[in-house]
Structures are given as structure tokens and as C-alpha cells.
A and B are shown apart, each in its own frame.
Chain A
């Protein structure tokens, strides 16, 4: 037998006897004969652990590990060793949704701690236990606004990550909702254009820092949106929340975004997680699981899933979201990361990223091979317009094991710098530009 299948031939015979079946095949008598498989799958032969390890190492080596100057939604921040080590503990890793809270206090507790941290970062009242990623969290935020306002159109600033906009459009289309993408001015969302379009909508989805890395000023937005009866939804990636005015401070109603930047490896785009947090007034429209504190019959403090009457397993066709499995283990990773870096460390990580990005920006301008596109304050990403062949430049970077900036069209290059990049690496990238 196989190492993951424990039964001996004798076990199988003894067990069959109890079931009254003559053979294993008998147990499948409910499957019509013509549907039954009679040959093995056409898949590769099994590999032993030794062969498998070699096979996977070979495959992993066919991916190039690079010095990364690219972000656009996935950021090369450092993950402390303890994150992987602790989330690998089987009690966290192999358990499932805390349906039996008496034996799932561990999961419930970290969800509670995670929710507390997300509320700290966003300035909101209540967070759920995680969403799939930043883009789907934003689409679900739109569904909340739909449930709250009953309107059919959402405004989305065009400074939002274009892939996030694509996901919003996918979700909206099939639910018969309209997405109105609002043009920006000089790289930032324009309040006057919002004013012209906000009537009779669900509200606005905006991003801060936006897709171009620009830190926008959303002062006055929430008043305009609220006066029109809409909700203000603001997407921010996790690291940025340590420095910049929070969704809560801007009077936003729903905070959402991706938290990959808080302790998760790049992993080719997943598993990451999205967060979703809101004001208490809207909690009953919020998708996903929420953990609360209570006591047991002996009065001991304990954690439990709460306000479940919102969720699909209770409301079925009347639910406002279909989410069931979320990204719980990733929420644990974020909680451990935020505990490690703590109140001061998180700011240091963000500030080193910010300073590195500004250093690179200055150095690149000095090469005279770029034009400024947006003269706006930025965080760890920025856009410059190149006056050279950007495709060839990408190849040159790759030949030096560097993942250069992302070409976002029109010769515009989107650069990203995190605290992991050193001054030497930045200087090397600048050198490649100079010599290009």
C-alpha cells in the first residue's frame, strides 16, 4: 500500500465484513456501471520522496530569483523567520474553521488579535477574519455598499490598481451592477469630477497610496459622498497604513486592501489575504467571519464566531456574499508579523522603504533619461517616463538578476523599493540606466 494509506489486506477484509460488502467494488454499486472507471488515470507515475524532492528542486530552479524593484500590488518586504515557523505549527495549519470553539480557541484568538490590529491600522470599528486578496475584498466592499444603498452604480477612481478595477468589473457585471471609472487629474482623484458623478450611486472606491505610488489627499471626499447618500470605500495596502492618514481619519466607511506586504512571501501572487473593516453601523452588511469575546459556563474568557446571521451557511440565497473559506492562516502570519515589528518597527520598515524609493527617484532623474510624470508626494512606488527602449532595458536588468520596474504603458515605468533593497542594489540599478 501507499504510505498515506494505512490498511493492510487483512484490515480491508475485516472491515468489508462489517459493511456486508463482498468487495470494495460492491461499495460503489450505487454508481451506474457505465460511469465507473476501469483504468488508472493518465497521470505520471508516483515519485518517491527522494525523487519528488529532486523534481521540485529542479522546477524551483527554473524560476529566477531576482533583486526586485517591482511592486504593483505585491511587495518584496522581509518576512521574519518566526512567521513561517509559527504558522507551520500543525495546530494552526491543519485545523479548519472553528466550528467547535471549545477546541479551536487558538484559531479564534488569533482572529481576534488580527481584527484588533486591522482596526488599529485602519481606524475602523470592526474587521472580519480575512478575505481572499485585496482585489476581491474591494469587490466585496462594493457589495456592502450595494446592500446598504440599494443603488446600482459604483464610482471607481482610475488611480486604483487596474487589476483591482478589472476584478471589481467582473464581480459587478454578473450582479448587474455598473462600474463608472472616474478619470484622475495629474495622477490623483479629482473631487470636482466625483461631485459631478456621485448622485444616485453606491459611492466611491479609491486607493491610497494609489497605483502610481502617490499619496493622495482625500480631505473633503467623505462629506461629498455622504451628502449624496453613498459610501466611501478606501483601498490601502498594509504597510502604507503605518504612515499615512487612515481610512478612519478620512471618514471612509469601508477600509479594504491587501496585507501581503505585512509578512507574506511573494509566492507568485498567493496565498495572500485581503482585509475588510468598517464602521459598526455597517457590520451587518459585512461579509465573512467575525470573532468576538465571550465567556464559557464557568466564566472563563473565551472567543467565538459571532454575528453569523450575515453568513451564507445561515442566510443561503439571501446572503450578501458567498465567502466561506477565507485566508485564515495568512491572517495569522500578518498577526505574528505585526507583533514582531510592533508599533515602532512597522513605521521603521515603511520609512526605510519610503527613503529608499526617494533616493532611487532622485538618482534616476539625475541620469537625464527620464521625465517626471506626476509631481506628487509618493510612498515606496513612483512612475517615471523613460526615453529609452523599456523592453530592452527589462532584459538588461534580468541579465543582471534584477527585476526592473513594471512598464505600465506609454513608456511609463512603475518602480518599487522596500526596506530589503540596499543602497548598493539601488546604485547598481541606476548604473544600468546610465550605461544603457
Chain B
């Protein structure tokens, strides 16, 4: 990585342009001037090479999966195969207008249909819709389905969603956006659902429960069938947050556990590129009795013809078209490269890697939850706290050694959380290198703690003044004095 300090606007010079245009021989048109903007937008004026060089330089200020190990917990940072990108952007996909007649998009509809079915098979749910744009959008869709289901049964007093305190922030936020009240229940020490706490809130005002399984501490909810039964008996539905589905590939299906609704993060489990924060894709799946509540449209098949259909009791439309098509084509390609022969290997390899790191480092780090983890685990800071080195410091020091940091200070149930998810793609050599560096950092933390507390040192910028950014927000080029 190298420091590069130009902003594209600073390179602008009037008269330059990085673009050429066809000139058609059309008559001039003039619209009433009161409808026009008074000044041109001050966009940069640069040559094509300026643009290419600038964004190449900007890219080099970033760390990606191809730079090195990226054990960001709950984000499933796998290798993103090149062939997926190439095949998903074939012109026969890229140049297709979303409002083309069905007979002209049969290939795309087939992919859509087949992926719906593959996700059903993998998760054990009856039917899927690929409309949601991201995980949180899938959550929202799922909660809307819960609400629509109760509305259909005139059970309108059910206005509460139960969410464990270990959940991702999107869960309670989605519940709020969907007009529900969140009832947070305290977890057991290992992050699993406390059955007594659950029972104490189950009531006829409960619409459903949202659960991530394995949870954010990488622990499987061993009482999951009982949990689901309890919620069902109380008249609620059970929602599966698919953020951690990778652990279960080849090992278990959410549908078998009693979940009624799921979303799946294709950008996690099915390896579509995270894109610096998106686009994701969060297909929502449901059990049989909820099929007609799926967001519209759904893709169905009649004979050899694929077509868009409208679900009868649909929650409605969630976007202008049909979700992030270029993302789910990649997921489809990814699944096809594994097939039934190898898709089941992913979960076990991901879980092996997580346990290997955990057990190689647990002598030095506080391990609040002992025993085998699934795809990820959480350390709660250093065992030896005598030098007061925190999780944040260790994360920053890792950057110096060329690794991305794990997810830190999440889940909230531990004060020094460091959540490590290696995924199945990393070799033993890479994991060993990470383990060695972590051991070195622990040694440094005890011997030269200041070095760790002031890390990073080797990155292109060092610790940032976040308070200053919030105090005097500079959020666009014109704000820079």
C-alpha cells in the first residue's frame, strides 16, 4: 500500500475530458430556461489516464482478500473466484433491460429459478425470493412476512419480536423499521438462548423470534428445536438470520430446525465480492405456509417456460426491479463450481480452520466459551492484562503485520470481543502465519506495550482522529477549506 494524497477534484483543469461522444445529427432542442439548473455541476475535468491512474492509486490504499488474510468475524471473507465475475458480466446478462418481455430473458429467469431452488435445498425451506438487496433487506422482508402472516389471521396484537442480546444490530433495527417492538432477551454465558428468559417473554403479543445459528459467538443453539417449538406454541414464527450459514454447509439445514423464514447473505456464504460494503444480496426463504407472502415478483416455471408471477398475499415490492441480479448470478456460478460433490465440504473446512486458530491461541487469549466452535469464535482480550493492552490495540498491530483485523467489540456480550472467522479457503500455512503473528503481538504487548498501543505504524495512515471528523464534519470536497 502507498499513501496517495490527491482527491480527484484537485486534479481538475478546465477543458480536459476523459470521454468522447458520438454526435448525432439531430435538430437543436431548447427547453424553458426556468426548468434548467442555473450552474453546471462542478465535476472534475480530467483526462482518461488521469482517471485510471487516480483510481489505481486510490485502490492501493485498500486491503482486499487478495492482499492477505481477512478474518473479519461474521463477514465470511472468502476468496471471490475470478470466473464468477467474468461469467456474471457476460453481455447476454449485462445488456439486458429489466423490463424486457419474458420470452427474451429465459436464460436469466432460469438462473433465478434454479438458484431459488438450490437455496431451498441447501437451507431446507420451501421457496425463495431473490428480491432483497442485502442481509438487512432480507431481514426486513422476513419480518414483513411475519407481520403479513399475523395480519392475514387477524392476529394484530402481535407487535413484538424477540431478539437475543448477542444479535447483529440490524436485527433490532429491522424490527423497528417493520413497526415491531423489540424484546431483548439475555443470553446464557455461552451466547446461546436462555430458555427461561425466552419462556418468560412468550406471550400472545409475540409475533416471532429472530435468531442467528450458529450465533455470533460461533456456538450452535443446541436447544434449537425446543426454542422453535416454544415460539410456535405461543403462536409466533421463527426467523433465521443467515449471516452464519457458512458453518452449516454440508452439516445441517435451518428448515429442519424449525425455522419458518430465513435470509441468506450471498456475499458471505456464496462468495460474491463484498465490494467495499456492497452490493450484497439477501434472498428470503420461507416454509410452505408462507410461500404466498414472498415479495414480488417470484419466478415460476410452467412446462419449459420461466415466468414472473405474483404471490397472492405478497408483502409487496421491495425494489424497482428484482434485486441485485449481477450478484446472484455470481452465487449461482459459485454453487455450480462445487456441485453436490463438494458444497458439503465447505462447512467442515471452515469449522476446522476456526477451531485450529482458537486452540492454537487460547493459552494467550481469554476464551469465554470453551469447547469446539463452529465457523468463528470470540476471544475476550488478552489473558495477561497487566499492561492494559486492549483488543483495539491488537487489531491495529495486526495491520502492521499485513493482516486484516478480526471484527472487534462485537458481539456486545463481551467487553473485549475479538471475533475471528477464517473461512474454508485459507491454508494451514496462512493460519500458522497468523497464529505466529498473534503470538508475537502478545509478546510485544507484555514487553513493549507502547508499541502495540500506538499501532499501527506501518500502514499508510495511522490512528485517526474520529472525534474531529464528527465535531466538524467535512463530508464533501467543497467543505475543505
Distance A377 CA – B177 CA, assembled complex (angstroms): 38
**How big is the B interface, by class?**
35 or more
Asked whether any CB of chain B lies closer than 8 Å to the CB of A324, the reply is yes
Task: Tell me whether A322 and B140 are in contact (CB under 8 A).
Answer: yes
Q: Point out the residue from B87, B105, B274 that lies within 8 Å of A56, measured CB to CB.
A: B87
Asked whether any CB of chain B lies closer than 8 Å to the CB of A253, the reply is no
Task: Tell me whether B43 and A339 are in contact (CB under 8 A).
Answer: yes
Query: Smallest distance from the beta carbon of B20 to chain A beta carbons, Å?
Result: 8
Query: Smallest distance from the beta carbon of B176 to chain A beta carbons, Å?
Result: 5
Task: Tell me whether B96 and A98 are in contact (CB under 8 A).
Answer: no
Asked whether any CB of chain A lies closer than 8 Å to the CB of B427, the reply is yes
Task: Tell me whether A94 and B64 are in contact (CB under 8 A).
Answer: yes
Task: Tell me whether B169 and A312 are in contact (CB under 8 A).
Answer: yes
Distance A242 CA – B42 CA, assembled complex (angstroms): 10
Asked whether any CB of chain A lies closer than 8 Å to the CB of B158, the reply is no
Chain B neighbourhood of A349, CB < 8 A: 21
Residue interface mask B102-122, A partner, CB < 8 A = 1: 011111101100000010011
Asked whether any CB of chain B lies closer than 8 Å to the CB of A315, the reply is yes
Asked whether any CB of chain B lies closer than 8 Å to the CB of A64, the reply is yes
Distance A76 CA – B91 CA, assembled complex (angstroms): 13
16 A/B residue pairs, CB under 8 Å, sorted by A: A4-B79, A5-B425, A19-B352, A37-B251, A63-B107, A85-B52, A91-B63, A91-B67, A100-B396, A101-B461, A171-B177, A174-B179, A283-B473, A312-B173, A319-B176, A339-B50
Query: Known contacts A90-B66, A170-B317, A352-B22: does B98 contact A268 (CB below 8 Å)?
Result: yes
Task: Tell me whether B29 and A355 are in contact (CB under 8 A).
Answer: yes
Query: Smallest distance from the beta carbon of B109 to chain A beta carbons, Å?
Result: 9
Task: Tell me whether B333 and A52 are in contact (CB under 8 A).
Answer: yes
Asked whether any CB of chain A lies closer than 8 Å to the CB of B188, the reply is no
Known pairs A41-B122, A43-B340, A340-B51. 8 more at Cβ < 8 A? A59-B107, A62-B110, A91-B63, A102-B459, A170-B317, A339-B8, A356-B26, A403-B104
Query: Smallest distance from the beta carbon of B399 to chain A beta carbons, Å?
Result: 5
Chain B neighbourhood of A12, CB < 8 A: 352
Query: Known contacts A27-B355, A270-B325: does B97 contact A37 (CB below 8 Å)?
Result: no
Distance A28 CA – B374 CA, assembled complex (angstroms): 7
Residue interface mask B1-43, A partner, CB < 8 A = 1: 1010101110010001111011111111101101111101111
Distance A20 CA – B133 CA, assembled complex (angstroms): 41
Chain A neighbourhood of B48, CB < 8 A: 80, 82, 340
Q: Which of B296-347 contact A (CB under 8 A)?
A: 315-327, 333, 335-346
Task: Tell me whether A119 and B319 are in contact (CB under 8 A).
Answer: no
Interface centre among B1, B38, B51, B65 (most CB of A within 10 A): B51
Closest Cβ neighbor of B480 among chain A residues: A293
Q: Which of B105-163 contact A (CB under 8 A)?
A: 105-108, 110-111, 118, 121-122, 133-137, 139-140, 143-144, 147
Task: Tell me whether B317 and A35 are in contact (CB under 8 A).
Answer: no
Q: Point out the residue from B66, B184, B360 that lies within 8 Å of A18, measured CB to CB.
A: B360
Which of the candidate stretches A124-132, A193-201, A225-233, A365-373 sits at the interface with the other chain? A124-132
Query: Known contacts A19-B359, A266-B94: does B38 contact A249 (CB below 8 Å)?
Result: yes
Closest Cβ neighbor of A248 among chain B residues: B37
Chain B neighbourhood of A324, CB < 8 A: 134-136, 168-170
Task: Tell me whether B278 and A94 are in contact (CB under 8 A).
Answer: no
Distance A105 CA – B5 CA, assembled complex (angstroms): 10
Chain B neighbourhood of A58, CB < 8 A: 107
Asked whether any CB of chain B lies closer than 8 Å to the CB of A409, the reply is no
Task: Tell me whether B98 and A116 are in contact (CB under 8 A).
Answer: no
Task: Tell me whether B106 and A15 are in contact (CB under 8 A).
Answer: no
Q: Point out the residue from A15, A46, A125, A133 that lies within 8 Å of B356, measured CB to CB.
A: A15
Q: Which of B406-449 contact A (CB under 8 A)?
A: 407, 410, 424-428
Distance A352 CA – B474 CA, assembled complex (angstroms): 35
Asked whether any CB of chain B lies closer than 8 Å to the CB of A184, the reply is no
Chain B neighbourhood of A319, CB < 8 A: 169, 172-173, 176-177
Q: Which of A78-132 contact B (CB under 8 A)?
A: 80, 82, 84-86, 88-107, 109-110, 112-113, 115-117, 119-121, 123, 125-127, 129-130, 132
Task: Tell me whether A354 and B29 are in contact (CB under 8 A).
Answer: yes
Distance A422 CA – B320 CA, assembled complex (angstroms): 28
A-B pairs, 4 with minimum CB distance? A269-B321, A46-B339, A60-B92, A62-B107
Task: Tell me whether A103 and B62 are in contact (CB under 8 A).
Answer: yes
Query: Known contacts A56-B90, A306-B469, A306-B473: does B43 contact A325 (CB below 8 Å)?
Result: no
Asked whether any CB of chain A lies closer than 8 Å to the CB of B294, the reply is no
Chain B neighbourhood of A105, CB < 8 A: 61-62, 460-461
Task: Tell me whether B276 and A97 are in contact (CB under 8 A).
Answer: yes
Residue interface mask A164-195, B partner, CB < 8 A = 1: 10110111011110000000000000000000
Asked whether any CB of chain A lies closer than 8 Å to the CB of B239, the reply is no
Distance A62 CA – B51 CA, assembled complex (angstroms): 36
Distance A42 CA – B470 CA, assembled complex (angstroms): 52
Closest Cβ neighbor of A130 among chain B residues: B278
Query: Known contacts A103-B459, A319-B176, A322-B176: does B475 contact A291 (CB below 8 Å)?
Result: yes
Task: Tell me whether A377 and B325 are in contact (CB under 8 A).
Answer: no
Q: Point out the residue from B17, B107, B280, B405 that lies within 8 Å of A100, measured CB to CB.
A: B405
Distance A266 CA – B321 CA, assembled complex (angstroms): 11
Q: Point out the residue from B25, B93, B220, B462 that lies within 8 Å of A296, measured CB to CB.
A: B462
Distance A311 CA – B101 CA, assembled complex (angstroms): 40
Q: Point out the residue from A53, A102, A161, A294 that lies within 8 Å of B399, measured CB to CB.
A: A102
Asked whether any CB of chain B lies closer than 8 Å to the CB of A432, the reply is no
Query: Smallest distance from the beta carbon of B116 to chain A beta carbons, Å?
Result: 12
Chain A neighbourhood of B122, CB < 8 A: 41, 43
Task: Tell me whether B55 and A40 are in contact (CB under 8 A).
Answer: no
Asked whether any CB of chain B lies closer than 8 Å to the CB of A31, the reply is yes
Task: Tell me whether B62 and A104 are in contact (CB under 8 A).
Answer: yes
Asked whether any CB of chain A lies closer than 8 Å to the CB of B256, the reply is yes
Chain A neighbourhood of B98, CB < 8 A: 74, 266, 268-270
